[in-house]
Amino acid sequence: MKLTANQLSLFTGIISYSTAVFMSLTATSLPYISQELSISICLCFTFLAHLDFFSSRYRSQFLLIDELFNNVVIVGVIAAIVAMLPNLLAIIVPNTSNWLTINVLPFAIFYAAFVYFMMCLAMFRKLIFERKTNAVIQQWRALTTLLIIAAFCQIKHLNRIDWITQLVWLTGMIAAVPLILRFRWIAIIEQREKWYAILYLFIINLISLAIIQQLIKITDNLPHFLLTDKTKLFYLSQNVFLLLIIGISLLYALLSLLALVFNMPIASAIDEQRTEIQHYQAIGRLVRNHVEQKEIFDQLLRIFYNNTFSTAAWFVLKNNNDELCHTLNIEKHEVETINKQIDFDNIIKNYAKRPYHYIADLRTSEFYNIDEPYQSLLLLCVESAEGRLEGVICLVKNFADGYDENSIRLCRAYLEQTKLAFENARLFSEMQQSTRYREELLIARNVQQALLPKQFPTNPYCQISAIAEPAREVGGDYYDYSQIDPSRLAMVVGDVSGKGTSAAFHMAQTKGVFQALMQLNLPADSFLLMANQALSNCFEKNRFLTLSFTLFNFANNTLSYSRAGHCPILYYSANAQKAHYLQSNGLGLGIIRNQSYSQYIETKTLELTIGDVFVIYTDGLIEGNSPTNNEPYGFERLKDCLESCYHLSAQEIKTFIFDDYSQYSHKNTTKDDTTLLVVKIDYLLDK
């Protein structure tokens, strides 16, 4: 198994610590190095490797208080149990040899305590970095540097120089003070989460104190790990790295607990303010009441400005010929300078591809003015429901990396709310033209139905009949055929993901692709591979198509079929006089958009017999629910239905199955497009 860089760091740390423990227990050492120096070097590697591992913990996660604290408490409980093992063993087995208690358990206690406090440090880093600023980043880097120095202080000779270890410890704690006093995360969590945090922090503090107490008890048994001279001023100061992470973690846990307790009286007021910020439905009312667009943007600008703690802001209305309408804490000539830096006109032209544009550091621009105070910019394009650009809001800060993921997500949420307001206004307007809208949809339905084959080729070999019913006026189901030559007939049944007009549009694209490929006389696997490549270029990334491809070869009386993630073909065998489903592996077209799709194609061949019946359908048929029992029509009912009507003609079989389905689902409960195609073999050539 290949290890990631993060996992490799943890593995290295565990190996280093295990080596140190082995050398301590067996009185061995590294080649040409004394035992004490060997152990101290291994411990140095242990500290550095674990520091690297825990530095990436929780970095990419959002702030989830329950999950964050729960993980630390679980590790803490395990560490506390390990730390209490000597006491538990003394109670349970009082008269046994204490070799295990004296020589082995102290190493386990030390490592459990070390991992626990490292996890605490990683958790507190996540809390400290909420709504981080440039100053916070620099302070954490300085603290990390001091922790690295503290790890090297574990090496023999360095840890014997008291003034060095004491200086590192004191400098580290001083560097940690601004971070320890940072509690912005408390303001952004809800009142319920604050109570959870108080409980968790109280437990964490109790666990920390219990573990520290046990660490003090085992110092005599770990001469190379902890300080043995208890008369010195800085107890445990030979292990300054452990002392630092314990000091920082314990202080932050205690101060956070106090901050939460004192914050609770005003927590309800903070929650009310947060609720007010989140409920800007007034924007929707402004749109519906035909308030001027400039007023809408003015309110949006102030919301974005206040909630992102921006240094300055402005907006531009597109329908005013890009005329600057309002600014906050910035002059017009400064805006013009920034627009030149970011190539504002080009961004506006491509707004459909990127609804927002974030430049973390304006200093990277070739047009950057050294006197310009602004270094990070967030540009937000406000669109209407039709996708038309209504205006642009720009926010700037006077330091780089000023907008974190939470700030951008909040701004985008407000943009979606604004877009929804425009959408509501559009729908309100369209309600006044509903008659015309229904007429246009009826026209679209007729156009789409015209794309589907009305008649199938007449031949002596088989009967063919099909029906397609969209869930709405238009849908994404598709079926088609190609008479390759007098003895070969290719047929496809497909289902575009989604419903309504967008699915119908992609269905029309699909017809063009398949009709072109059918002319190439391709085998099933090559057909699906080329179809996948063509549709990948047509469809958006969130669109795909399931498909059943069948090739009837009446020259040798065989059927070749492939299934691209579609429903299995229902086959009634005249020889066996029973129906079953033809299973084959396959993946929808457009899901994997490269040549590796070929490995997901499976083609199978079936010997044909006179009287065989094939039913090819879309999932709307088997998923239609009954309004009485709310159960789908299902595969078994479809199979039973075919076994009841296989002796009829293809047209009659189709009608029989669809009537049974319509009666079962009452048809008005249909939630998906429904397509059904029936092929019945009438005649075959003698081989």
Highest mean pLDDT among 90-94, 134-138, 156-160, 271-275: 134-138
Q: What 3-state class would DSSP assign to 267? A: helix
Look at residue 230 in the predicted model and tell me its pLDDT.
44
Cα–Cα distance measured from residue 32 to residue 405, given in angstroms and rounded to the nearest whole number: 52
Cα–Cα distance measured from residue 101 to residue 89, given in angstroms and rounded to the nearest whole number: 8
Enter the CATH code of domain 453-681. 3.60.40.10
Per-residue pLDDT of 478-490, as tens digits, reads 888 888 888 899 9
C-alpha to C-alpha distances, 55 to 46, 163, 373, 585, 664, nearest whole angstrom: 14, 28, 32, 44, 59
Enter the CATH code of domain 280-431. 3.30.450.40
Per-residue pLDDT of 26-66, as tens digits, reads 888 888 787 777 888 888 888 889 888 888 776 655 667 77
pTM for this one? 0.45
Confidence of residue 279 (pLDDT cuts 50, 70, 90): very low
Enumerate the β-bridge partners of residue 312.
396
Answer whether residue 463 shows pLDDT above 80: yes
The answer to whether 412 touches 356, Cβ cutoff 8 Å, is: yes
Enumerate the β-bridge partners of residue 603.
562
Per-residue pLDDT of 578-609, as tens digits, reads 999 998 888 999 889 888 888 888 999 999 99
Which positions ≥6 away from 319 have C-beta within 8 Å? 293, 390, 391
The answer to whether 462 touches 552, Cβ cutoff 8 Å, is: yes
pLDDT, average across residues 289-305: 73
Look at residue 162 in the predicted model and tell me its pLDDT.
65
pLDDT, average across residues 192-207: 89
Answer whether residue 406 shows pLDDT above 80: no
Look at residue 233 in the predicted model and tell me its pLDDT.
36
Answer whether residue 328 shows pLDDT above 70: yes
Answer whether residue 320 shows pLDDT above 60: no
Where along the chain do its domains lie? 64-271, 280-431, 453-681
pLDDT, average across residues 95-101: 61
Confidence of residue 437 (pLDDT cuts 50, 70, 90): low
Per-residue pLDDT of 611-661, as tens digits, reads 999 999 998 888 888 878 888 889 999 999 999 999 999 999 999 999 999
Which positions ≥6 away from 26 have C-beta within 8 Å? none
Look at residue 234 in the predicted model and tell me its pLDDT.
39
Cα–Cα distance measured from residue 541 to residue 555, given in angstroms and rounded to the nearest whole number: 41
